[in-house]
A and B are shown apart, each in its own frame.
Chain A
Protein backbone atom coordinates (compact mmCIF):
# COMPACT_ATOMS: atom_id res chain seq x y z
CA UNK A 1 0.00 0.00 0.00
CA UNK A 2 1.12 3.49 -0.70
CA UNK A 3 2.42 5.36 2.28
CA UNK A 4 -0.03 8.12 2.95
CA UNK A 5 1.69 11.10 1.43
CA UNK A 6 -0.99 13.54 2.38
CA UNK A 7 -0.06 13.82 6.01
CA UNK A 8 0.69 17.12 7.57
CA UNK A 9 4.35 17.99 7.73
CA UNK A 10 5.01 20.62 10.32
CA UNK A 11 8.14 22.29 11.53
CA UNK A 12 8.22 24.15 14.79
CA UNK A 13 10.45 27.15 14.45
CA UNK A 14 9.38 28.48 17.77
CA UNK A 15 10.87 25.77 19.90
CA UNK A 16 14.17 27.54 20.15
CA UNK A 17 12.61 30.76 21.31
CA UNK A 18 9.78 29.47 23.45
CA UNK A 19 11.32 26.58 25.30
CA UNK A 20 8.91 26.87 28.17
CA UNK A 21 6.17 25.54 25.95
CA UNK A 22 4.47 28.88 25.63
CA UNK A 23 2.58 28.20 22.41
CA UNK A 24 -0.01 30.88 22.95
CA UNK A 25 2.10 33.29 20.89
CA UNK A 26 3.07 30.75 18.24
CA UNK A 27 1.87 31.72 14.83
CA UNK A 28 1.03 28.87 12.49
CA UNK A 29 1.73 29.45 8.82
CA UNK A 30 0.05 26.79 6.67
CA UNK A 31 1.12 26.65 3.03
CA UNK A 32 -1.40 24.65 1.04
CA UNK A 33 -0.53 22.94 -2.23
CA UNK A 34 -3.53 22.39 -4.47
CA UNK A 35 -3.45 18.64 -5.11
CA UNK A 36 -6.09 18.09 -7.78
CA UNK A 37 -3.60 17.28 -10.53
CA UNK A 38 0.01 17.97 -11.44
CA UNK A 39 3.31 18.45 -9.65
CA UNK A 40 2.01 18.99 -6.11
CA UNK A 41 4.23 16.36 -4.49
CA UNK A 42 7.32 18.14 -5.77
CA UNK A 43 6.16 21.46 -4.30
CA UNK A 44 5.62 19.80 -0.94
CA UNK A 45 9.06 18.18 -1.04
CA UNK A 46 10.75 21.54 -1.59
CA UNK A 47 8.69 23.23 1.13
CA UNK A 48 9.68 20.51 3.62
CA UNK A 49 13.34 21.06 2.88
CA UNK A 50 12.94 24.84 2.98
CA UNK A 51 11.19 24.86 6.35
CA UNK A 52 14.07 23.08 8.07
CA UNK A 53 16.90 25.01 6.42
CA UNK A 54 18.89 27.28 8.70
CA UNK A 55 18.84 30.29 6.35
CA UNK A 56 15.04 30.14 6.20
CA UNK A 57 14.66 29.76 9.95
CA UNK A 58 16.85 32.69 10.74
CA UNK A 59 15.37 34.93 8.03
CA UNK A 60 11.78 34.27 9.03
CA UNK A 61 12.55 34.60 12.72
CA UNK A 62 14.09 38.02 12.06
CA UNK A 63 11.13 39.08 9.93
CA UNK A 64 8.72 38.05 12.67
CA UNK A 65 10.76 39.90 15.30
CA UNK A 66 11.36 36.71 17.22
CA UNK A 67 7.72 35.69 17.35
CA UNK A 68 7.62 31.88 17.22
CA UNK A 69 6.45 30.61 13.85
CA UNK A 70 5.31 27.14 12.92
CA UNK A 71 5.45 26.36 9.21
CA UNK A 72 3.33 23.55 7.86
CA UNK A 73 2.49 22.38 4.35
CA UNK A 74 -0.65 20.47 3.48
CA UNK A 75 -2.21 19.14 0.31
CA UNK A 76 -5.55 20.72 -0.58
CA UNK A 77 -8.40 18.80 -2.22
CA UNK A 78 -11.37 19.99 -0.17
CA UNK A 79 -12.89 23.23 1.12
CA UNK A 80 -12.01 22.22 4.69
CA UNK A 81 -8.35 21.86 3.75
CA UNK A 82 -8.37 25.19 1.92
CA UNK A 83 -9.81 26.93 4.96
CA UNK A 84 -6.79 25.90 7.04
CA UNK A 85 -4.32 27.60 4.70
CA UNK A 86 -2.49 30.90 5.08
CA UNK A 87 -1.46 30.75 1.42
CA UNK A 88 -1.83 28.41 -1.53
CA UNK A 89 0.40 27.12 -4.32
CA UNK A 90 -1.27 26.02 -7.56
CA UNK A 91 1.18 23.61 -9.22
CA UNK A 92 2.03 22.90 -12.81
CA UNK A 93 -0.16 20.41 -14.61
CA UNK A 94 -2.98 20.93 -17.07
CA UNK A 95 -4.89 24.15 -16.48
CA UNK A 96 -8.07 22.76 -18.06
CA UNK A 97 -7.96 19.71 -15.81
CA UNK A 98 -7.26 21.71 -12.65
CA UNK A 99 -10.00 24.25 -13.47
CA UNK A 100 -12.58 21.53 -14.07
CA UNK A 101 -11.61 19.67 -10.90
CA UNK A 102 -11.84 22.94 -8.93
CA UNK A 103 -15.42 23.27 -10.04
CA UNK A 104 -16.34 19.60 -9.57
CA UNK A 105 -14.79 19.69 -6.08
CA UNK A 106 -16.82 22.81 -5.20
CA UNK A 107 -13.57 24.70 -4.65
CA UNK A 108 -13.90 27.44 -7.27
CA UNK A 109 -15.92 29.95 -5.26
CA UNK A 110 -14.10 29.34 -1.97
CA UNK A 111 -10.85 29.84 -3.86
CA UNK A 112 -12.08 33.12 -5.38
CA UNK A 113 -12.86 34.29 -1.87
CA UNK A 114 -9.49 33.03 -0.62
CA UNK A 115 -7.64 35.15 -3.21
CA UNK A 116 -9.15 38.34 -1.78
CA UNK A 117 -7.27 37.92 1.49
CA UNK A 118 -4.48 35.41 1.09
CA UNK A 119 -1.51 34.94 -1.25
CA UNK A 120 -1.47 32.48 -4.12
CA UNK A 121 1.48 31.37 -6.21
CA UNK A 122 0.76 29.71 -9.54
CA UNK A 123 3.46 27.79 -11.42
CA UNK A 124 2.90 27.10 -15.14
CA UNK A 125 -0.71 25.81 -15.24
CA UNK A 126 -1.20 27.64 -11.94
CA UNK A 127 -0.05 30.86 -13.62
CA UNK A 128 -2.73 30.39 -16.27
CA UNK A 129 -5.33 29.97 -13.54
CA UNK A 130 -4.23 33.22 -11.87
CA UNK A 131 -4.35 35.19 -15.11
CA UNK A 132 -7.15 37.45 -16.27
CA UNK A 133 -7.36 36.42 -19.92
CA UNK A 134 -6.30 33.26 -21.74
CA UNK A 135 -5.25 33.84 -25.34
CA UNK A 136 -5.98 30.31 -26.56
CA UNK A 137 -8.38 28.51 -24.24
CA UNK A 138 -9.75 25.10 -25.00
CA UNK A 139 -12.86 25.01 -27.15
CA UNK A 140 -15.76 26.44 -25.21
CA UNK A 141 -13.42 28.47 -23.00
CA UNK A 142 -11.91 27.74 -19.63
CA UNK A 143 -12.30 29.26 -16.20
CA UNK A 144 -9.58 31.42 -14.64
CA UNK A 145 -9.36 33.20 -11.30
CA UNK A 146 -8.56 36.68 -12.76
CA UNK A 147 -6.28 37.66 -9.92
CA UNK A 148 -3.21 38.87 -11.84
CA UNK A 149 -3.56 41.40 -14.63
CA UNK A 150 -1.99 39.51 -17.48
CA UNK A 151 -3.14 38.01 -20.73
CA UNK A 152 -1.46 34.62 -21.09
CA UNK A 153 -1.06 32.18 -23.96
CA UNK A 154 -1.08 28.47 -23.19
CA UNK A 155 1.69 26.32 -24.68
CA UNK A 156 3.26 29.53 -25.95
CA UNK A 157 6.39 27.81 -27.21
CA UNK A 158 4.50 24.95 -28.86
CA UNK A 159 4.34 21.23 -28.14
CA UNK A 160 6.37 19.10 -25.75
CA UNK A 161 9.37 18.96 -28.08
CA UNK A 162 9.74 22.75 -27.73
CA UNK A 163 10.16 22.42 -23.96
CA UNK A 164 13.50 23.68 -22.65
CA UNK A 165 15.60 24.67 -19.67
CA UNK A 166 17.36 28.02 -19.27
CA UNK A 167 19.53 29.71 -16.65
CA UNK A 168 18.12 33.04 -15.51
CA UNK A 169 19.50 35.86 -13.42
CA UNK A 170 16.93 36.75 -10.77
CA UNK A 171 18.12 39.69 -8.64
CA UNK A 172 15.34 39.39 -6.07
CA UNK A 173 16.26 35.86 -4.96
CA UNK A 174 18.56 34.85 -2.15
CA UNK A 175 22.15 34.55 -3.49
CA UNK A 176 21.23 36.49 -6.65
CA UNK A 177 24.66 35.97 -8.18
CA UNK A 178 23.75 32.30 -8.69
CA UNK A 179 21.56 31.79 -11.79
CA UNK A 180 18.25 29.94 -11.39
CA UNK A 181 17.52 27.01 -13.71
CA UNK A 182 14.09 27.59 -15.23
CA UNK A 183 12.31 24.44 -16.46
CA UNK A 184 9.79 25.37 -19.16
CA UNK A 185 7.50 22.46 -20.11
CA UNK A 186 4.78 23.37 -22.60
CA UNK A 187 5.00 26.65 -20.76
CA UNK A 188 2.60 29.56 -21.10
CA UNK A 189 3.75 32.98 -22.33
CA UNK A 190 2.68 36.29 -20.82
CA UNK A 191 1.50 38.07 -23.99
CA UNK A 192 0.54 41.35 -22.37
CA UNK A 193 0.36 43.11 -19.04
CA UNK A 194 -3.09 44.57 -18.61
CA UNK A 195 -3.12 48.14 -17.42
CA UNK A 196 -4.91 49.02 -14.23
CA UNK A 197 -8.07 50.19 -15.94
CA UNK A 198 -8.62 47.25 -18.21
CA UNK A 199 -7.68 44.84 -15.44
CA UNK A 200 -10.08 46.49 -13.08
CA UNK A 201 -12.88 46.29 -15.58
CA UNK A 202 -12.24 42.66 -16.26
CA UNK A 203 -11.60 41.51 -12.73
CA UNK A 204 -14.65 40.26 -10.86
CA UNK A 205 -15.72 42.80 -8.30
CA UNK A 206 -15.48 41.18 -4.90
CA UNK A 207 -18.41 41.45 -2.57
CA UNK A 208 -18.24 44.33 -0.13
CA UNK A 209 -15.29 45.83 -1.92
CA UNK A 210 -15.40 49.23 -3.45
CA UNK A 211 -15.05 49.08 -7.22
CA UNK A 212 -12.84 52.13 -7.06
CA UNK A 213 -9.95 50.20 -5.53
CA UNK A 214 -7.34 49.89 -8.23
CA UNK A 215 -5.19 46.78 -8.43
CA UNK A 216 -1.64 46.97 -7.10
CA UNK A 217 1.20 47.48 -9.56
CA UNK A 218 2.83 44.58 -11.33
CA UNK A 219 6.37 43.85 -10.21
CA UNK A 220 8.55 41.94 -12.68
CA UNK A 221 10.62 39.29 -10.90
CA UNK A 222 12.32 37.41 -13.76
CA UNK A 223 12.76 37.69 -17.51
CA UNK A 224 14.12 35.39 -20.20
CA UNK A 225 16.78 36.61 -22.61
CA UNK A 226 15.56 37.71 -26.03
CA UNK A 227 16.90 34.74 -28.00
CA UNK A 228 14.79 32.25 -26.01
CA UNK A 229 11.46 33.93 -26.67
CA UNK A 230 8.95 32.27 -28.98
CA UNK A 231 9.29 33.58 -32.50
CA UNK A 232 6.07 35.38 -33.19
CA UNK A 233 5.22 38.89 -34.15
CA UNK A 234 3.93 41.25 -31.51
CA UNK A 235 1.46 44.02 -31.96
CA UNK A 236 3.43 46.53 -29.98
CA UNK A 237 6.65 47.25 -28.17
CA UNK A 238 4.80 46.77 -24.87
CA UNK A 239 3.68 43.29 -25.82
CA UNK A 240 7.18 42.42 -26.92
CA UNK A 241 8.34 43.60 -23.54
CA UNK A 242 5.73 41.47 -21.77
CA UNK A 243 6.72 38.26 -23.53
CA UNK A 244 10.07 38.05 -21.79
CA UNK A 245 8.39 38.08 -18.36
CA UNK A 246 8.45 34.65 -16.73
CA UNK A 247 7.91 35.59 -13.07
CA UNK A 248 5.87 38.47 -11.72
CA UNK A 249 4.10 39.60 -8.65
CA UNK A 250 0.96 41.69 -8.23
CA UNK A 251 0.07 42.54 -4.67
CA UNK A 252 0.01 39.36 -2.64
CA UNK A 253 -0.09 37.05 -5.67
CA UNK A 254 2.82 35.61 -7.58
CA UNK A 255 3.17 33.70 -10.84
CA UNK A 256 5.96 31.84 -12.60
CA UNK A 257 5.48 30.38 -16.08
CA UNK A 258 8.13 27.72 -15.37
CA UNK A 259 8.49 24.95 -12.75
CA UNK A 260 10.73 25.80 -9.77
CA UNK A 261 9.35 22.66 -8.09
CA UNK A 262 11.15 20.45 -10.59
CA UNK A 263 14.59 21.60 -9.48
CA UNK A 264 16.50 21.16 -6.22
CA UNK A 265 16.66 24.93 -5.84
CA UNK A 266 14.37 26.29 -3.10
CA UNK A 267 14.93 30.00 -3.76
CA UNK A 268 11.60 30.74 -5.47
CA UNK A 269 9.76 28.95 -2.65
CA UNK A 270 11.83 30.96 -0.19
CA UNK A 271 10.89 34.15 -2.08
CA UNK A 272 7.18 33.31 -2.04
CA UNK A 273 7.03 32.41 1.64
CA UNK A 274 9.18 35.30 2.86
CA UNK A 275 8.07 38.04 0.47
CA UNK A 276 4.41 37.23 -0.20
CA UNK A 277 3.16 34.95 2.58
CA UNK A 278 4.94 36.19 5.70
CA UNK A 279 3.99 39.88 5.29
CA UNK A 280 0.38 38.84 4.71
CA UNK A 281 0.32 36.53 7.76
CA UNK A 282 2.02 39.05 10.05
CA UNK A 283 -0.27 41.87 8.92
CA UNK A 284 -3.36 39.75 9.59
CA UNK A 285 -1.99 38.66 12.95
CA UNK A 286 -1.50 42.27 14.04
CA UNK A 287 -4.84 43.47 12.79
Chain B
Protein backbone atom coordinates (compact mmCIF):
# COMPACT_ATOMS: atom_id res chain seq x y z
CA UNK B 1 0.00 0.00 0.00
CA UNK B 2 1.35 3.34 -0.90
CA UNK B 3 -1.11 5.56 0.87
CA UNK B 4 -0.08 6.27 4.44
CA UNK B 5 -3.62 6.73 5.55
CA UNK B 6 -4.44 3.20 4.55
CA UNK B 7 -1.43 1.44 5.90
CA UNK B 8 0.29 1.15 9.14
CA UNK B 9 0.29 -0.07 12.63
CA UNK B 10 -2.28 -1.84 14.71
CA UNK B 11 -4.42 1.25 14.66
CA UNK B 12 -4.60 2.46 11.10
CA UNK B 13 -3.26 5.96 10.88
CA UNK B 14 -6.07 8.32 10.43
CA UNK B 15 -6.05 10.59 7.46
CA UNK B 16 -4.58 13.83 8.47
CA UNK B 17 -7.00 16.44 9.47
CA UNK B 18 -9.49 13.79 10.19
CA UNK B 19 -6.91 12.35 12.46
CA UNK B 20 -6.77 10.87 15.87
CA UNK B 21 -8.04 7.50 16.81
CA UNK B 22 -9.77 7.89 20.11
CA UNK B 23 -9.05 11.50 19.46
CA UNK B 24 -11.37 14.35 19.13
CA UNK B 25 -11.51 16.00 15.80
CA UNK B 26 -13.30 19.16 15.04
CA UNK B 27 -16.13 19.11 12.69
CA UNK B 28 -16.06 18.69 9.01
CA UNK B 29 -18.44 21.16 7.52
CA UNK B 30 -19.76 20.89 4.02
CA UNK B 31 -19.24 23.84 1.83
CA UNK B 32 -22.50 24.70 0.28
CA UNK B 33 -22.61 25.88 -3.23
CA UNK B 34 -25.80 27.59 -4.16
CA UNK B 35 -27.36 27.46 -7.54
CA UNK B 36 -28.64 31.00 -7.21
CA UNK B 37 -26.09 33.02 -5.38
CA UNK B 38 -22.92 32.68 -7.33
CA UNK B 39 -20.04 31.14 -5.49
CA UNK B 40 -21.50 30.21 -2.13
CA UNK B 41 -19.44 27.01 -2.17
CA UNK B 42 -16.17 28.73 -1.50
CA UNK B 43 -17.95 31.04 0.92
CA UNK B 44 -19.24 28.09 2.93
CA UNK B 45 -15.83 26.45 2.84
CA UNK B 46 -14.21 29.60 4.19
CA UNK B 47 -16.79 29.74 7.00
CA UNK B 48 -15.80 26.19 7.89
CA UNK B 49 -12.06 26.90 7.74
CA UNK B 50 -12.39 30.06 9.83
CA UNK B 51 -14.48 28.13 12.36
CA UNK B 52 -11.63 25.66 12.85
CA UNK B 53 -12.93 22.73 10.80
CA UNK B 54 -10.15 20.25 9.99
CA UNK B 55 -11.61 19.48 6.56
CA UNK B 56 -14.49 20.54 4.35
CA UNK B 57 -16.88 18.65 2.12
CA UNK B 58 -17.48 20.17 -1.29
CA UNK B 59 -21.15 19.84 -2.16
CA UNK B 60 -23.60 21.60 -4.46
CA UNK B 61 -26.34 21.25 -1.88
CA UNK B 62 -26.33 20.23 1.76
CA UNK B 63 -28.31 17.03 2.46
CA UNK B 64 -31.34 18.96 3.73
CA UNK B 65 -31.62 20.60 0.30
CA UNK B 66 -31.04 17.30 -1.52
CA UNK B 67 -33.84 15.83 0.59
CA UNK B 68 -36.17 18.75 -0.11
CA UNK B 69 -35.51 19.01 -3.84
CA UNK B 70 -35.53 15.30 -4.65
CA UNK B 71 -34.38 13.90 -7.99
CA UNK B 72 -31.10 12.08 -8.66
CA UNK B 73 -28.21 13.47 -6.63
CA UNK B 74 -24.76 13.01 -8.21
CA UNK B 75 -21.11 13.96 -7.76
CA UNK B 76 -20.56 17.74 -7.77
CA UNK B 77 -19.17 19.73 -10.70
CA UNK B 78 -15.37 19.26 -10.65
CA UNK B 79 -14.91 22.97 -11.33
CA UNK B 80 -16.91 23.87 -8.22
CA UNK B 81 -14.79 21.42 -6.21
CA UNK B 82 -11.55 22.87 -7.60
CA UNK B 83 -12.66 26.38 -6.60
CA UNK B 84 -13.18 25.15 -3.06
CA UNK B 85 -9.76 23.45 -3.06
CA UNK B 86 -8.25 26.79 -4.09
CA UNK B 87 -10.17 28.76 -1.49
CA UNK B 88 -9.02 26.83 1.59
CA UNK B 89 -5.80 25.31 2.91
CA UNK B 90 -7.46 22.48 4.83
CA UNK B 91 -8.24 19.12 3.16
CA UNK B 92 -11.27 18.96 0.89
CA UNK B 93 -13.57 15.97 0.58
CA UNK B 94 -16.21 15.30 -2.00
CA UNK B 95 -19.00 12.75 -2.35
CA UNK B 96 -19.52 10.06 -4.95
CA UNK B 97 -22.53 7.83 -5.43
CA UNK B 98 -22.34 4.35 -3.87
CA UNK B 99 -20.68 2.06 -6.40
CA UNK B 100 -19.82 4.83 -8.88
CA UNK B 101 -16.11 4.17 -9.30
CA UNK B 102 -15.79 6.50 -12.29
CA UNK B 103 -16.95 9.48 -10.23
CA UNK B 104 -14.23 8.43 -7.80
CA UNK B 105 -11.64 8.27 -10.59
CA UNK B 106 -12.60 11.80 -11.58
CA UNK B 107 -12.23 13.11 -8.04
CA UNK B 108 -8.87 11.42 -7.66
CA UNK B 109 -7.75 12.96 -10.95
CA UNK B 110 -8.48 16.49 -9.75
CA UNK B 111 -6.51 15.91 -6.54
CA UNK B 112 -9.28 15.77 -3.95
CA UNK B 113 -8.05 14.79 -0.45
CA UNK B 114 -10.76 12.31 0.57
CA UNK B 115 -13.79 10.71 -1.06
CA UNK B 116 -17.06 10.03 0.75
CA UNK B 117 -18.91 7.13 -0.89
CA UNK B 118 -22.20 8.42 0.34
CA UNK B 119 -25.76 7.26 0.73
CA UNK B 120 -26.79 10.93 0.59
CA UNK B 121 -26.32 10.76 -3.18
CA UNK B 122 -28.49 8.43 -5.25
CA UNK B 123 -26.77 5.00 -5.42
CA UNK B 124 -25.31 4.04 -8.80
CA UNK B 125 -25.11 0.33 -7.94
CA UNK B 126 -27.65 -1.50 -5.80
CA UNK B 127 -25.33 -4.42 -5.05
CA UNK B 128 -21.67 -3.39 -5.07
CA UNK B 129 -19.69 -0.72 -3.34
CA UNK B 130 -16.53 0.72 -4.91
CA UNK B 131 -13.37 -1.39 -4.59
CA UNK B 132 -11.55 1.30 -2.70
CA UNK B 133 -8.23 -0.56 -2.74
CA UNK B 134 -7.93 0.53 -6.38
CA UNK B 135 -7.50 4.17 -5.34
CA UNK B 136 -4.73 6.15 -3.74
CA UNK B 137 -7.09 8.72 -2.27
CA UNK B 138 -8.60 7.60 1.06
CA UNK B 139 -12.33 6.90 1.35
CA UNK B 140 -14.87 7.34 4.11
CA UNK B 141 -18.09 5.30 4.15
CA UNK B 142 -21.19 5.26 6.30
CA UNK B 143 -22.22 2.35 8.50
CA UNK B 144 -25.19 1.52 10.71
CA UNK B 145 -23.65 -1.45 12.51
CA UNK B 146 -20.43 -3.38 12.96
CA UNK B 147 -20.93 -5.73 10.02
CA UNK B 148 -21.49 -2.87 7.63
CA UNK B 149 -18.47 -0.97 9.00
CA UNK B 150 -16.17 -3.98 8.60
CA UNK B 151 -17.45 -4.70 5.08
CA UNK B 152 -16.53 -1.14 4.09
CA UNK B 153 -13.11 -1.41 5.74
CA UNK B 154 -12.59 -4.69 3.92
CA UNK B 155 -13.29 -2.88 0.63
CA UNK B 156 -10.60 -0.35 1.56
CA UNK B 157 -12.36 2.43 3.47
CA UNK B 158 -9.81 4.41 5.49
CA UNK B 159 -12.37 5.64 7.93
CA UNK B 160 -15.98 5.12 8.89
CA UNK B 161 -18.81 7.41 9.89
CA UNK B 162 -22.26 6.74 11.23
CA UNK B 163 -24.91 7.15 8.56
CA UNK B 164 -27.40 8.86 10.83
CA UNK B 165 -30.17 10.47 8.83
CA UNK B 166 -28.52 13.22 6.82
CA UNK B 167 -30.36 16.49 6.39
CA UNK B 168 -32.81 15.99 9.24
CA UNK B 169 -31.15 17.87 12.08
CA UNK B 170 -32.22 14.88 14.17
CA UNK B 171 -29.42 13.04 15.93
CA UNK B 172 -31.40 9.93 16.90
CA UNK B 173 -30.24 7.75 14.00
CA UNK B 174 -26.57 8.64 14.48
CA UNK B 175 -26.91 7.69 18.15
CA UNK B 176 -28.58 4.42 17.17
CA UNK B 177 -25.77 3.55 14.74
CA UNK B 178 -22.96 4.45 17.12
CA UNK B 179 -24.54 2.49 19.97
CA UNK B 180 -25.08 -0.49 17.67
CA UNK B 181 -21.42 -0.55 16.63
CA UNK B 182 -20.25 -0.18 20.24
CA UNK B 183 -22.56 -2.90 21.54
CA UNK B 184 -21.42 -5.35 18.87
CA UNK B 185 -17.75 -4.57 19.57
CA UNK B 186 -18.31 -5.26 23.27
CA UNK B 187 -19.97 -8.57 22.44
CA UNK B 188 -17.16 -9.54 20.07
CA UNK B 189 -14.52 -8.62 22.64
CA UNK B 190 -15.88 -11.22 25.05
CA UNK B 191 -16.01 -14.05 22.49
CA UNK B 192 -13.58 -16.89 21.94
CA UNK B 193 -12.38 -17.72 18.46
CA UNK B 194 -15.12 -20.28 17.66
CA UNK B 195 -17.77 -17.78 18.66
CA UNK B 196 -16.10 -15.09 16.57
CA UNK B 197 -16.30 -17.31 13.46
CA UNK B 198 -20.04 -17.69 14.00
CA UNK B 199 -20.51 -14.00 14.78
CA UNK B 200 -18.60 -13.03 11.65
CA UNK B 201 -21.05 -15.10 9.62
CA UNK B 202 -24.06 -13.59 11.42
CA UNK B 203 -23.08 -9.99 10.81
CA UNK B 204 -21.53 -10.52 7.39
CA UNK B 205 -18.09 -9.31 8.42
CA UNK B 206 -14.67 -10.61 7.32
CA UNK B 207 -13.34 -12.76 10.17
CA UNK B 208 -9.84 -11.24 10.30
CA UNK B 209 -11.21 -7.71 10.69
CA UNK B 210 -13.69 -8.84 13.32
CA UNK B 211 -10.91 -10.55 15.27
CA UNK B 212 -8.73 -7.43 15.08
CA UNK B 213 -11.66 -5.26 16.22
CA UNK B 214 -12.30 -7.60 19.16
CA UNK B 215 -8.64 -7.39 20.15
CA UNK B 216 -8.52 -3.58 19.90
CA UNK B 217 -11.99 -3.18 21.46
CA UNK B 218 -12.68 -0.50 18.87
CA UNK B 219 -12.85 -0.23 15.08
CA UNK B 220 -9.43 -0.57 13.47
CA UNK B 221 -9.93 2.84 11.78
CA UNK B 222 -11.29 6.13 13.07
CA UNK B 223 -15.04 6.47 13.33
CA UNK B 224 -16.84 9.78 12.89
CA UNK B 225 -20.36 10.85 13.72
CA UNK B 226 -22.51 12.06 10.85
CA UNK B 227 -26.14 12.60 10.00
CA UNK B 228 -28.38 14.89 11.99
CA UNK B 229 -25.91 16.73 14.23
CA UNK B 230 -27.24 20.23 14.81
CA UNK B 231 -25.93 21.57 18.15
CA UNK B 232 -22.69 21.59 20.17
CA UNK B 233 -24.42 19.25 22.61
CA UNK B 234 -25.19 16.81 19.77
CA UNK B 235 -21.53 16.83 18.77
CA UNK B 236 -20.33 16.24 22.34
CA UNK B 237 -22.93 13.48 22.78
CA UNK B 238 -21.48 11.62 19.80
CA UNK B 239 -17.94 12.12 21.11
CA UNK B 240 -18.86 10.82 24.56
CA UNK B 241 -20.44 7.80 22.87
CA UNK B 242 -16.99 7.07 21.45
CA UNK B 243 -16.75 8.83 18.08
CA UNK B 244 -13.39 10.23 16.97
CA UNK B 245 -14.80 13.27 15.20
CA UNK B 246 -17.93 14.81 13.76
CA UNK B 247 -19.30 15.80 10.35
CA UNK B 248 -21.76 18.67 10.36
CA UNK B 249 -23.52 20.06 7.33
CA UNK B 250 -27.18 20.96 7.18
CA UNK B 251 -27.14 21.54 10.93
CA UNK B 252 -24.81 24.49 10.39
CA UNK B 253 -25.95 25.90 7.08
CA UNK B 254 -29.65 25.68 7.90
CA UNK B 255 -29.17 27.55 11.18
CA UNK B 256 -29.49 31.22 11.99
CA UNK B 257 -25.76 31.95 12.32
CA UNK B 258 -23.62 29.34 10.51
CA UNK B 259 -20.24 30.90 11.38
CA UNK B 260 -20.94 31.09 15.10
CA UNK B 261 -22.54 27.66 15.29
CA UNK B 262 -19.69 26.06 13.33
CA UNK B 263 -17.13 27.51 15.71
CA UNK B 264 -19.14 26.37 18.74
CA UNK B 265 -19.39 22.82 17.37
CA UNK B 266 -15.64 22.73 16.71
CA UNK B 267 -15.02 23.66 20.36
CA UNK B 268 -17.60 21.15 21.56
CA UNK B 269 -15.79 18.34 19.74
CA UNK B 270 -12.49 19.21 21.47
CA UNK B 271 -13.92 19.84 24.93
CA UNK B 272 -16.64 17.19 24.75
CA UNK B 273 -16.02 16.11 28.35
CA UNK B 274 -16.21 19.62 29.81
CA UNK B 275 -19.87 20.51 30.49
CA UNK B 276 -18.99 23.98 31.77
CA UNK B 277 -17.32 24.86 28.50
CA UNK B 278 -20.11 23.19 26.52
CA UNK B 279 -22.55 25.49 28.32
CA UNK B 280 -20.49 28.53 27.35
CA UNK B 281 -20.23 27.69 23.67
CA UNK B 282 -23.92 26.74 23.45
CA UNK B 283 -25.07 30.24 24.42
CA UNK B 284 -26.62 32.68 21.97
CA UNK B 285 -26.14 30.65 18.81
CA UNK B 286 -29.36 31.89 17.23
CA UNK B 287 -31.94 29.60 15.69
CA UNK B 288 -30.99 25.95 15.29
CA UNK B 289 -32.06 23.96 12.26
CA UNK B 290 -35.77 23.16 12.50
CA UNK B 291 -35.27 19.48 11.81
CA UNK B 292 -37.46 16.55 10.87
CA UNK B 293 -39.03 13.66 12.71
CA UNK B 294 -37.59 10.44 11.30
CA UNK B 295 -40.26 8.37 9.57
CA UNK B 296 -40.60 6.31 6.43
CA UNK B 297 -42.80 8.90 4.76
CA UNK B 298 -40.66 11.94 5.57
CA UNK B 299 -39.50 14.10 2.71
CA UNK B 300 -36.71 12.32 0.84
CA UNK B 301 -37.23 9.06 2.76
CA UNK B 302 -34.66 7.24 4.84
CA UNK B 303 -31.26 7.66 3.21
CA UNK B 304 -29.52 5.35 5.71
CA UNK B 305 -31.17 2.32 4.09
CA UNK B 306 -28.98 2.85 1.03
CA UNK B 307 -25.79 0.77 1.04
CA UNK B 308 -25.35 -2.96 1.52
Contacts and interface: CB of A to CB of B under 8 A. Distances in A.
Contact of A160 (B2, B13, B22, B114): B114
Interface string A183-200: 111100000000000000
A155 B16 CA distance: 11
A175 to B, nearest CB: 18
Interface string A144-169: 00000000001100111101110000
Interface residues of A, number: 50
Contact of A101 (B14, B22, B266): B266
B274 A161 contact: no
Contact of A97 (B7, B21, B266): B266
Contacts of A155: 89
Interface string A60-99: 0000000000000000011000000000000111101100
B10 to A, nearest CB: 7
Given A136-B89, A262-B13, A37 B270 contact: yes
Interface in B100-118: 108, 111-114
B240 A94 contact: no
Contacts, number: 163
A161 B108 contact: yes
B147 interface: no
Given A94-B54, A154-B89, A163 B20 contact: no
A39 interface: yes
Contact of A1 (B4, B22, B241): B241
B273 interface: yes
Contact of A185 (B4, B242, B263): B4
B91 interface: yes
A283 interface: no
A96 B17 CA distance: 10
B49 A138 contact: yes
Contact of B54 (A97, A138, A263): A97
Interface in B263-278: 263, 266-267, 270-271, 273-274
Given A2-B239, A39-B21, A94-B54, 9 more contacts: A2-B22, A36-B270, A37-B52, A39-B23, A93-B17, A93-B19, A96-B49, A100-B52, A155-B89
22 contacts: A5-B22, A39-B13, A92-B16, A93-B54, A94-B16, A94-B55, A94-B91, A97-B52, A101-B26, A154-B89, A155-B89, A159-B111, A160-B5, A160-B15, A160-B138, A161-B113, A163-B5, A165-B2, A185-B4, A259-B13, A262-B13, A264-B9
Interface of A: 1-2, 4-6, 35-42, 45, 77-78, 91-94, 96-97, 100-101, 104-105, 124-125, 136-140, 154-155, 158-161, 163-165, 183-186, 259, 262-264
